[in-house]
C-alpha cells in the first residue's frame, strides 16, 4: 500500500527538478571555449550578484573522488547533471557554490555577469583535495597554477576570507585525517 503523503512529496520534487532544468536551460548555454579548455558554460543573460545562475542536480553518487565529481561532505562525492558538471574552474571565478534543496550545490553569481560570458567556479571551494585540474588554464591574474583543493589554499586566500566555500569545510578542515 502506498503512502499518499510520500507520493505527493515525490511528485512535487519531480516538478521541482523539471523547473530547475528549465531555469538552467534559460540561464546558460554549453559552448566550446577558445583554447585548450574544451567545453564551457556561458551566461545566456545578465546576472546580478546573488542571483542563482545554475541549480545543481545530482546525477549519481560516487564511491570516491573523480576528476568530475563534486565533494558534498567528508567522504561524500557526487556527479552532477549538465550543465553544472561542465562548468570550468577558475582561480578568480564569477560563481560561488551554496548547498541547495536537492542535496547538491547552486551556483550563485558573486559579481555582475554579462550575457555571453563564461561562468566559472573555484574547484577548491568544494574539493578538499582536487584531482580535476593538474595544470590550471584559467589565465586569471591570480592563477594558482593548479586548482589544488581547499587544503592547499593559504589562510589569507580571498576564498577563505569571503566564506565562499562548502560548509563542511568549516569543520576542523585543518585535520589531515579527513578527506
Ligand atoms: Zn587558475
Taking the centre of ligand 1 as the mean of its atom positions, its distance from the CA of residue 95, in whole angstroms, is 14
Taking the centre of ligand 1 as the mean of its atom positions, its distance from the CA of residue 5, in whole angstroms, is 48
Question: Is residue 17, in this structure, part of any structural domain at all?
Answer: yes
Taking the centre of ligand 1 as the mean of its atom positions, its distance from the CA of residue 122, in whole angstroms, is 9
Mean pLDDT per 10-residue run, the chain (179 residues)?
Answer: 59 83 97 86 98 97 94 97 96 95 96 97 92 85 86 84 90 51
Report the domain count for the chain: 1
Read off the pLDDT of residues 74-87 as tens digits, 9 standing for 90 and up.
Answer: 999 999 999 999 99
Radius of gyration of the chain measured on its C-alpha atoms: 17
Domain range for 40: 4-170
Report helix, strand or coil for 73. strand
Whole-prediction pTM: 0.87
Task: Supply the DSSP symbol for 117.
Answer: P
Residue with cell 593559504: 154
Question: Is residue 179, in this structure, part of any structural domain at all?
Answer: no
At 135, which CATH number?
2.170.270.10
* CB atoms near residue 77 (< 10 Å): 18
Amino acid at each position: 500500500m502506498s503512502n499518499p503523503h510520500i507520493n505527493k512529496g515525490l511528485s512535487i520534487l519531480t516538478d521541482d527538478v523539471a523547473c530547475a532544468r528549465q531555469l538552467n536551460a534559460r540561464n546558460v548555454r554549453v559552448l566550446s571555449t577558445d583554447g585548450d579548455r574544451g567545453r564551457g558554460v556561458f551566461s545566456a543573460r545578465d546576472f546580478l550578484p546573488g542571483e542563482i545562475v545554475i541549480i545543481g542536480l545530482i546525477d549519481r553518487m560516487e564511491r570516491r573522488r573523480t576528476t568530475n565529481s563534486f565533494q558534498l561532505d567528508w567522504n561524500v562525492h557526487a556527479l552532477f547533471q549538465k550543465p553544472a558538471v561542465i562548468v570550468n574552474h577558475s582561480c578568480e571565478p564569477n560563481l560561488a557554490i551554496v548547498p541547495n534543496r536537492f542535496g547538491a550545490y547552486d551556483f550563485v553569481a558573486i559579481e555582475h555577469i554579462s550575457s555571453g560570458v563564461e561562468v566559472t567556479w573555484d574547484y577548491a571551494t568544494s574539493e578538499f583535495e582536487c584531482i580535476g585540474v593538474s595544470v590550471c588554464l584559467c589565465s586569471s591574474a591570480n592563477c594558482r597554477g593548479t586548482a589544488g583543493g581547499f587544503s592547499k589554499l593559504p589562510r589569507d586566500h580571498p576564498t577563505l576570507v569571503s566564506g565562499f566555500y562548502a560548509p563542511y569545510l568549516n569543520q576542523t578542515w585543518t585535520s589531515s585525517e579527513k578527506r
